[in-house]
Amino acid sequence: MPRSASVEFRSGCPIASTLDVVGDKWTLVILRDLVNGKTRFQEFLDSPERIASNILTARLAQMELNGLIVGELYQKRPKRYAYQLTEAGARLLPVLQSICSWAGACLPNRWTPPAKFMRMMPKDVSAARTRKAAHPRGR
């Protein structure tokens, strides 16, 4: 991902820099939802974590500025967007899977992610994104 003017990096450390992009409370949860097929604002609101709509709006905008997602207008009045992962966003899939594996091994009483999710590869997410772009829902 090219360095975005929207991110101020604390240092040249790759861990700290990545956390500057995805280290808030919601970005990885939204990425999880995108990987699992959610694309629209209401779908993100329906997730079990119950993100507030104003926070979701801000986070989606920041994720787009940071090059993780792109929004495509699917309705003009009121304006509504469907969101898709960019290649940079899709490349975070192994990070999400590693977090799931760590939580399963180290945190009590966590649910097990679907096997399909754990077997996915970034190219699978990119292929799904391309198919959705060719045949978007609700159009």
Q: What digits encode the pLDDT tens for the residues 37-91?
A: 999 999 999 999 999 999 999 999 999 999 999 999 999 999 999 999 999 999 9
CA distances to 9, 13, 76, 96 from 71, in Å: 24, 29, 13, 21
Count of the separate structural domains present in the chain: 1
Structural domain range at position 113? 14-129
Residue 6 lies in a domain: no
Residue 8 lies in a domain: no
Residue 9 lies in a domain: no
Q: What digits encode the pLDDT tens for the residues 111-136?
A: 999 999 999 999 988 755 554 544 44
Average pLDDT over residues 5-21: 89
**Residue 6 phi, psi dihedral angles, 5° rounding:** -80, -10
Residue 2 lies in a domain: no
The candidate with the shortest Cα–Cα distance to 75, out of 51, 42, 35, is 42
Q: For residue 85, give the CATH number of its domain.
A: 1.10.10.10
Residue 21 lies in a domain: yes
Residue 79 lies in a domain: yes
Q: What is the value of pTM for the model shown? A: 0.85
Listed in sequence order, the DSSP H helices in 12-121 are 14-22, 27-35, 41-45, 53-65, 87-90, 93-106, 115-119
Query: pLDDT at position 127, please?
Result: 59
Q: What letters, b where the CB count within 10 A reaches 16 and e where it falls short, cover 102-128?
A: eeeeeeeeeeebeeeeeebebeebbeb
Q: Whole-angstrom Cα distance, residue 121 to residue 62?
A: 24
Residue 104 lies in a domain: yes
Residue 138 lies in a domain: no
Taking a C-beta distance cutoff of 8 angstroms, is the pair 46, 63 a contact?
no
